[in-house]
Amino acid sequence: MGNRGPAAGTGGRPRKARIDKTAEGKAVRIIEPPDMPAGVDIPEPRVYLSEDQRDGKPTFADEIYNETWAWLSKFHCEHLVSQTLVEQFSMAASRWIQTERAITAFGFLGKHPTTGEPITSPFVSMNINFSKLTNNLWQQIYGVVRENAAEDYSGRTPKDDVMERLLTMGRA
């Protein structure tokens, strides 16, 4: 049997964003946030997001977490995204940055442990995997905002800030 159609959940017409539906005058079901205690803006990130790496350098996962949560709050979508998803994105993005640093420090090539021949650094494949994971998790978060934000959601995002960290990591 061959492949038949798009992957599950990806077929059909893409959903319209809430802001587009309201602009067209269509009725939109609004999900009300659960009652939140007063003064609680950002849930505390779990401890592992702020632990230092083995070399003593910070992971920045807690900063990415706070930036992402603040961005979600800006569009009143923080109640629609689980804290675990934001934590997973933050950790994956910080690991992506960590593997970029390792590639910068050690290069693209490594030495085979038994033959001594040059091989591709294992950090390269780890970097690719963390990059894919970060993008996948970000698409989940961004999709929730795109479908539910009552305001224009374009502009800088926490993912842009992760890219900025990657580009400036050698200078910091």
Residue 40 lies in a domain: no
pLDDT at 38: 38
Three-state secondary structure call for residue 133: helix
pLDDT at 48: 78
Residue 29 lies in a domain: no
pTM of the model: 0.71
pLDDT at 68: 92
Q: Which residues of the chain fall below pLDDT 50?
A: 33, 36-40, 172
Closest to 43 in 3D by CA, of 89, 78, 92: 78
DSSP-derived letter for residue 49 is G
For tokens 């842009």, what's the residue? Answer: 160
Residue 154 lies in a domain: yes
| Two tokens, residue 154 | 């374009």
Residue 7 lies in a domain: no
pLDDT at 124: 94
Q: Domain limits at 116?
A: 48-168
Length of the chain as a residue count: 172
Q: What is the number of domains present in the chain?
A: 1
Q: What residue type is assigned to position 121 of the chain?
A: S
